[in-house]
Amino acid sequence: MSQSAPSIDAWLAEAKQDPDFQQCGMYLVHNGVVRATPKARVREGVSGGVEADSSVARLTFSYDADKVKRAIDDARALPGIFYVRVWLNEGELAVGDDIMYVLVGGDIRPHVIDALQTLVGTIKNTCVNEVEHEA
């Protein structure tokens, strides 16, 4: 069973109330979504449980909260980053369901882009467990 996704509008409004908001010249959002295309088809050498020539019907998703917290703390320590917020879904997710939202705010575009890419990569590679189920 999936959770209700947060409101990005509400997140941005909250971010702009943060004490460090005046340091932020840019916010970027990542929204990961369950897709029908299996990992084996789009990422060479990676399997999520469904063969490349099949389709995904659903995804079992879980995460390690302590690892996610460390990843967030590490992202906040990156140069020029003043705001980070993460929401992760969990459970049995259908194609089209939101997997995660990540919001990063910082001073300049290169810092924010790098931080978002680093944080999402860390979450995907070290904090979550995703098992695809065939359609």
Which of 3.90.1170.40, 3.40.50.300, 2.60.40.1180, 3.40.50.980 is the CATH number of 9-32+60-127?
A: 3.90.1170.40
Write out the two tokens for 8. 């990005």
Strand, coil or helix: 119:
helix
pLDDT at res. 1: 55
Which pLDDT belongs to residue 105?
Answer: 98
pLDDT, residue 53, reads 85
Domain boundaries, the chain: 9-32+60-127
Give the H/E segment covering residue 131.
strand 128-134
Give the per-residue pLDDT at 77.
Answer: 98
Distance between alpha carbon 27 and the CA centroid of its chain, in Å? 14
Cα–Cα dist 48/70, whole Å = 24
Question: Could you tell me the mean pLDDT of each successive run of 10 residues in the chain, 135 residues long?
Answer: 88 97 97 94 79 92 98 98 98 97 98 98 97 94
